[in-house]
Amino acid sequence: MKASEREKVVEQVVHEIYEAYPFLWERFGENGHKRTTEDNYHHLDHLSTTYNMGEEQFFMDYTKWLQTVLTSRNVGTELIIDNYERLYRHLDKLEDQEESNAYKDYLTSGIQFLKATNE
């Protein structure tokens, strides 16, 4: 993924999250916004590493770890699912469609796992 694509995706996803959930500003403030931005860069880093390794389990391990960390900080699993779904929608805009499709496959697996553990 090109750096410019990466920045645009993160910017759009974080904007959408805070637009959809304005209570996050009240609850977590500017620090929460900064952390959400950092988290989305981490999500994309892990998707990229998974793609380069060709090993989906790497992203699944990250997703499990992420859920544990964020839920311990009172961020519900439903917000992680929402974040992954927003990333998924923005991946169609990537120049490299093979990479985009792989990322979407990894996100789909992560979303399925999170939904199963959130029931």
Range of the domain at 109: 3-117
- The domain total for the chain is 1
**Per residue in 3-49, pLDDT tens?**
899 999 999 999 999 999 998 888 888 998 999 999 999 999 999 99
CATH of the domain at 7: 1.10.490
Question: Phi and psi (nearest 5°) for 64?
Answer: -65, -45
pLDDT tens, position by position, 78-116: 999 999 999 999 998 888 999 999 999 999 999 999 999
| C-alpha distance from residue 18 to each of 22, 57, 82, 85, 87 (Å) | 5, 30, 12, 15, 14
pTM of the model: 0.93
